[in-house]
Structure 1
Amino acid sequence: MVKPKTKKICIVVSSLGAGGAERSSAILSEMLFDLGYDIHIVSVLNKIDYPFKGTLLNLGVLKDEDDSILGRLKRLKVFKNYLKKHHFDYVIDSRTRIGLFKEFLISNFIYNPKKTIYCVRSYNTDGYINPNRFFGDRLYSSAHRIIAVSNGISVKLKKKYGFKNLTVINNPIVINNVSVMSEVDVKNKFILFFGRLDDSIKNISLLLQAYAESKIFQKEIKLIILGAGKDKDLLLNKSEILRLNNSVSFLEYKSNPYGWVKEAVFTVLTSRYEGFPRTLIESLALGTPVISVDCQSGPNEIIVDEHNGLLVENHNIKALAQAMDRLVEDKELYLRCKANAKSSVAHLSMKTIGLQWKAILN
């Protein structure tokens, strides 16, 4: 009996560091590698923080050396030659895709559309699909598949572009026992935000305002903000204005935040928009209840209100403050959400999500 040929898959990423989308791409490489595919990863930027599996082509090293127009053309040539050399069965493009001319070149002259799968990992779809309906359709409608990480994203793309090659595959969860062994040096109880400190997306200002209005900070339950980003100084200043200096701690970015997540009373998400947020599914997988604003998209596909957490109206400071108080003061509610947390995301296991990818690739 002839053994079937191992399929070669190339995953193209913006980077492998500093964000949930990038983390999901790294996990995708591990998942497909473990399923027996020959995995190659091409990174546009020289930022490799997350563990991955497969062979890495780091175009970011060339970018650091020369980011002129000539340097960019050189990188495109290196990329094209790499794809040509390896004869990949599929290319999975997980990058943000901005710039009509550049993406026209890539989709038409570097990729083979019938062997290309495009991922859309945020409700801000303009970063992945050209906002012009004509150009968006021209660039992506002939692709093998467009993978949306949430139903909300899929509905938006179908309505705007009429794509018929859409499939929804959620982000999977991968947390092992070693991941949660990091030490947590906090004596008080605390609630947690972990993620990128970009207030234009994550709206951490809303979290600070709601925390200041809640009763929980008067009960000496601290707020820990874990992460790095361009708005750290702005948020530190806002915390000072709200007189939260003794109650809010800003800790540095950690590639392994799971010890903190597991020890938190609950975690909080206040984003203006999302994709299928890893912070929520990873918290629940560790048995930690969640509170999230009902932003587009993801939270209302993950949280069953009062079952595994609380879902509140977005941009509503009072509603968020009340939700924080409820989850602390209502012991029955809290214990119910905690008891249901892990089982509520069991369908997002690597095995289950891996089978969905396998169906696309085979």
Structure 2
Amino acid sequence: MVSISLGKGGAERSCAMLSEMLHEQGYEVHIAILNNQVDYPYKGALFNLGDFKKENENFRGRFKRLLKLRQYLKQHAIEVVIDHRTKNQYYRERFYHNIIYKGFQKIYVVHSANPNLYLTKQPKKFSKIYNKNSATVAVSNHITEKILPSFGITNATTIHNAFNGGWASQSANLPKNITPHNYILSYGRIEEAVKDFTFLLNAFTASQVWKKGVQLVIMGEGEDKEALQQFASTLPSAQQIVFLPHQSPFSIIQKAKFVTLTSRFEGFPMVLVESLSLGVPVVSLDIVSGPSEIIEDGSNGLLIPKRDVSLFAQAMQRMATNSILREQCAKNAKPSVARFSTIEIGEKWNQLIQHALRRP
């Protein structure tokens, strides 16, 4: 498997988890990462190309470093390459496909509904490369059925991201500035263009739940964090807004009232699956793509049909104050995501890889 890293993002976490699933299936797993960042547990051999990265690396240095990847693939007689990287530069991807991965069976994974991230700026030309691969895996039905076919990709199949049943056993002391079971949680990389935390802050303020002592906890790091903290400090609800650093989220999730998602787009938002797998309800915008494949409105959470502050504020207020609704959603949460267990998803990957190995 090839990934940018094994840290911070949902795509990186799903790559790390896939290594564990394939290891359980009996495969010999190797993971190559381009940047030296490892936050998530994984199984198999790690080839860290970040160790060879020099400061102010130029094109020649990057070229030589990537050739080490090809040498590694040949040295270890790799049979199938599963590539999780974003793909936003056409000629770089031609280099990967025609030189680095030449002679190997290839599966590319599309983790986002934003075509610019995985189809480069020349998607019609790049689709020909995708179609030469053993398969294209999309992490949501929307990507498989709507986005990829519109660019001429014909070998797409859906394999959702999985959750790990062991997450529930993770425990840690909560920070002293948040009250157990009395906070709303949102977490992820703080990148406004994608996550739209400003919308969440405005909706939280409009919901008025902060007047009853309910907190909003935003957990994560990113280039927009400082600006977001500054904006939050100007709101009437400022005293009830808490920012936490990036960390393993599971103990924080388990003691939340509910978890929110207000992104502009996703692929298959693991925030929702992670929360539901721990028995915690969710409130999410019905964005492209993923939430509608996870949330049953009124059963395991609330799905808001459009990006409207007042609508989202009403949903937050309803989930925060209606204990009957919240308890019902919490009861249904775990069963609703059973189909995303590592056993179910691992077997789908096993079948796909076996098909790739049978290709000439």
TM range (shorter): over 0.9
In structure 2, give the amino acid aligned to 1:266.
F
- Looking at structure 2, the residues matched to 224 and 183 of structure 1 have their Cα atoms a distance apart, in angstroms, of 15
Match of 1:166 among 156, 169, 173: 156
Change (3 A) 1:276 1:55: same
Q: Hey, what does 2:82 align to over in structure 1?
A: 92
Corresponding residue for 2:219? 226
| Structure-2 separation of matches of 1:129 and 1:61 | 28
Corresponding residue for 2:203? Answer: 210
In the alignment, residue 340 of structure 2 is paired with which amino acid?
A: L
Identity of aligned residues (%): 39
Q: TM-score, normalised by structure 2?
A: 0.94
How far apart in 2 are the matches of 1:51 and 1:114?
26
Q: What is the TM-score of this pair, normalised by structure 1?
A: 0.93
Distance 1:214 1:109 in 2: 55
Residue 331 in structure 1 maps to residue 323 in structure 2: yes
Map of 1:30 onto structure 2: 20
Alpha-carbon distance in structure 1 between the residues aligned to 2:249 and 2:315: 24
Shift of 1:113: 6.9
Does 106-115 or 330-339 show the bigger shift?
Answer: 106-115
Unaligned runs of 5+ in 1: 1-10
* Cα pair 2:131 2:153 within 8 Å, conserved: yes
Q: Partner residue of 1:5?
A: none
Deviations 1:283-308 (A, max 9, x none): 00100000000110011110010000
Matches within 5 A, 1:1-362: 11-65=1-55, 67-112=57-102, 115-176=105-166, 179-185=169-175, 186-187=178-179, 189-254=182-247, 256-362=248-354
Residue 203 of structure 1: how far off its partner (Å)? 0.4
The aligned residue for residue 6 of structure 1 is none
CA distance in 1, matches of 2:179, 2:91: 54
- Residue 138 of structure 1: CA displacement? 2.3
RMSD: 1.5
Partner letter of residue 285 of structure 1?
Answer: S
C-alpha displacement of 1:106? 1.0
In structure 1, give the amino acid aligned to 2:131: S
Q: Which amino acid aligns with 2:4?
A: S
Tell whether the 8 Å contact from 2:81 to 2:104 is kept in structure 1 after alignment: no
* Amino acid in the other structure paired with 1:360: L
Superposed CA offset, 1:232-253 (max 9, x none): 1111111112133210000111
- Write the deviation string for residues 164-184 of structure 1: whole angstroms up to 9, x where unpaired: 211100000014167531112
3-state SS of 1:119 partner: strand
Q: Matches of 1:153 and 1:245 in 2, distance apart?
A: 38
Q: Which amino acid aligns with 1:221?
A: V
The separation in 2 between residues aligned to 1:134 and 1:125, in whole angstroms, is 11
Q: Is the 1:113–1:142 Cα contact (8 Å) retained in structure 2? A: no
The answer as to whether partners of 1:133 and 1:160 remain within 8 angstroms in 2 is no
Moved more, 122-131 or 71-80: 122-131
Residue 33 of structure 1 and its aligned partner are, at CA, apart by 0.9
Is the CA contact 1:210–1:318 (under 8 Å) kept in the aligned structure 2?
A: yes
Cα distance in structure 2, aligned partners of 1:73 and 1:187? 51
CA change 1:112–1:144 in 2 (3 A) is farther
Give, as a single letter, the amino acid of the residue that structure 2 aligns with 1:212.
T
Against the structure 1 CA distance between its residues 177 and 353, is the aligned structure 2 distance closer, same or farther, given a 3 Å change threshold?
closer
Q: Which runs of 4+ in 1 moved over 6 A?
A: none
Q: Is the 8 A contact 2:52 2:65 kept in 1?
A: yes
Q: Distance in 1 between matches of 2:225 and 2:283?
A: 22
> Are the equivalent residues in 1 in contact too, given 2:285–2:304 (CA < 8 A)?
yes
Partner in structure 1 of residue 358 of structure 2: none
- How many matched pairs? 351
In 2 relative to 1, CA 247–113 (structure 1 residues): closer, same or farther, beyond 3 Å? farther
Partner of 1:3: none
Q: Deviations over 1:60-105 (max 9, x none)?
A: 1212356111211111211111112122110000001121211111
User: How far, CA to CA, are the matches of 1:113 and 1:80 in structure 2?
Assistant: 10
Measured in 2, the distance between the counterparts of 1:299 and 1:153 equals 13
1:311 partner SS: strand
- For structure 2, the residue ranges without an aligned partner over 5 or more in a row are 355-360
Structure 1 Cα separation of the partners of residues 320 and 197 of structure 2? 20
AA at the equivalent of 1:268: T
The separation in 2 between residues aligned to 1:98 and 1:181, in whole angstroms, is 38
